[in-house]
């Protein structure tokens, strides 16, 4: 069930639209693996434009390559 909070819903929506393309870029730049939540940080910045403000969100997570068992 989708979240009901408007801000959380936008994150949900962003991942629905951009999740697979972001995954493809990560695989292209790093190889097959994941961005882990180990040692994860997130940063939120305010970007001021002439007539509006924007939100800049940076996620930083450890890259873990897939390993065979």
User: What CATH number did the domain enclosing 24 receive?
Assistant: 3.30.1160.10
By annotation, the residues acting in catalysis are 10, 13, 36
Confidence of residue 63 (pLDDT cuts 50, 70, 90): very high
Average pLDDT, the chain: 96
Domain count, the chain: 1
Q: What values do phi and psi take at 57, rounded to 5?
A: -115, 130
Report yes or no on 22 lying in a domain: yes
Element housing 15 (H / E): helix 6-30
The reply to whether 1 falls in a domain is no
Given a cut of 90, whether residue 60 has pLDDT beyond it is yes
14-37 tens-digit pLDDT: 999 999 999 999 999 999 999 999
What pLDDT was estimated at residue 3?
95
- Overall pTM surpassing 0.75 (yes/no): yes
- d(C-alpha 26, C-alpha 30), whole Å: 6
What's the pLDDT score for residue 69? 84
Question: Does 44 fall in a domain?
Answer: yes
Domain of residue 32, residue span: 6-65
Report the distance separating Cα 27 and Cα 21, nearest Å: 10
Q: Is residue 10 part of a domain?
A: yes
Rounded to a whole number of angstroms, the distance between the first and last alpha carbons of the chain is 34
């Amino acid at each position: 069930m989708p979240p009901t909070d408007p801000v959380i819903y936008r994150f949900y929506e962003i991942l629905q639209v951009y999740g697979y393309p972001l995954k493809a870029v990560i695989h292209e730049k790093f190889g097959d693996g994941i961005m882990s939540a180990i040692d994860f940080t997130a940063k939120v910045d305010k970007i001021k434009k002439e007539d509006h403000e924007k939100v800049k969100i940076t996620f930083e997570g450890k890259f873990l390559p897939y390993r065979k068992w």
